[in-house]
Amino acid sequence: MDDFRLPTEPRPSTRSWIFPVMLLAAGVLIGVILTSDLGWLPTGHAVPDSVPPPASVPVPRPVSTAVQPSLPGAGGQSFVDVAKAVKPAVVNIFATRNGSSEEGKGTPFEDPFFRRFFGEEWMKRFEAPKERKERGLGSGVIVDANGLIITNNHVVNKADDIKVFLSDKREFKAKLVGTDAKTDVAVLKIEATGLPTVAWADSDKLEVGEFVLAVGNPFGLTQTVTLGIVSALGRAAGIAEYEDFIQTDAAINPGNSGGALVNVRGELVGINTAIYSQSGGNMGIGFAVPSNMAHSIMDQLVQHGKVVRGWLGVSIQELTPELSSQFGVPKDVKGVLVSDVMDDSPAKKAGFERGDVIVEYDGKPMDSPAHLRNAVAQTHVGKKVSVKIIREKKAKSIELTIAEQPKNLAQAGVEEGGESVAPAGLLSDIEVRELNTELAGRYGLKGSDRGVVVVRVKPGSPAEEAGVREGDLVLEVNRKSIGTVKSYEQVAANLPKDQAVLLLLKRQGRAIYLTLRP
């Protein structure tokens, strides 16, 4: 029976497909012959081991699993080796402080009438908790196998409960050995033995440009290691009273506080403390307490439960180029200017004077006030030291014995009163008056010192640019003492024209030198 198809539908032919099939087969045959002659292989196939590859094709090599290259000065260690050695000695610190909540005070919930009207049970549903807990997270470094841990004061300050978590997941309740807010250092103790530790390094030998690793627990991410270099040394950031920070660009974030900053040998060079940030996170500027300072503070806290600091008994300030020329100090000489000498102090007894420039303390050069303050503070009480100074353009050495720093250093004040005066010349931009009770109260001064007080500084004047402020007490003009407005006028009248004027001022209990230039 025949198929039924539409009239327009052609009947299939058995011959129509034979020619295309034969043509395709011929093409495949020719392709195989060509590829075999040229030595090509389809993508994805491997060259047999017995057939050597063409000279133009490189021999495949396995991925390298060689050990990381060693670091200069690291004794053959790599960053991997340093990280493995240090991480077990860095701990996670969890501090809790109990506090009372102020929420709900002054609201109807505290009113006895409301409580009686609605009933105690109903009111309790809306009460804020009377106590709340503040939790802090930070890091610490094990520096003694028997459980001694160093961290930052701000990590554990006023904590009621401190827990320490080790890298092996063990948890300990820590005892606070002692804290020092002036350097932001604290020491903890846990009951354990045989713990991994980090060895101390001499931070005085640290140099700008050295590689360092920061190890800690940023944002609670435990055992985090970051790499950077030492960006600067001897930084003062306004964080603590005694500062000599190591600045680094190794990433430091919240939670890193109290963690380790180590060199390429895995030695502790600093305790990570703070960051400079406009976002709350790392911006490449981190600060660490130098290991020498931290080690000294820790030893005192462990041995005495407190920190005893050395005391020289001088007010000091930076030696600027302008001040160097005023005191006859060569421009290439670095030092610290003595602006005041305290009564009954080691410096006073040894013969220090205002205007002395300290260039060396206990055999070490001094180039900044912070450097000298830290050096004196870390000197053992009772130690005899030699101080090299420049006085009246002549070098001199003074021997003295360091005393213990008083808990409260006395601050001097001022007295008397009178009319205001504004002399001519560079001092014409400064208006002064003799002190009276009203002025003393206005500027927070006392009544034991003599001098004249600045009541006005002309805006945009050389005096303002030099840093003279309202409320400053003028003690000297060009090294001549000022006790009254009359003596101030006499000195001002004899000032040479078109020459710089050196002022000794007292501000907030401290004496400072300033230079006015025409």
d(CA 214, CA 47): 49
- Count of positions (residues) in the chain: 518
From CA 93, how far away is CA 246, in angstroms rounded? 23
Q: How far, CA to CA in Å, does 352 sit from each of 35, 139, 378?
A: 98, 44, 21
Which two structure tokens, joined as six digits, stand for 409? 């250093």
**Tokens standing for 299?**
């030893």
Q: Which residues contact 135 (CB under 8 A, 6 or more apart)?
A: 94, 95, 96, 97
Residue 503 in contact with residue 513, Cβ under 8 Å?
A: yes
Beta strands per DSSP E along 276-365: 286-290, 310-311, 314-318, 336-341, 357-361, 364-365
What is the rounded CA–CA span in Å between residue 285 and residue 248? 6
Strand-pair partners of 189: 148, 175
Determine whether 139 is an active site residue: no
**257 among known catalytic residues:** yes
Residue where the block lists tokens 């520096």: 143
**Active site residue: 81, 139, 154, 339, which one?**
154
d(CA 495, CA 501): 8
154 classed as catalytic: yes
CA distance 3 to 11: 10
Q: Which of 139, 203, 231, 257 is catalytic?
A: 257
* The one catalytic residue among 81, 139, 180, 184: 184
Catalytic residues: 154, 184, 257
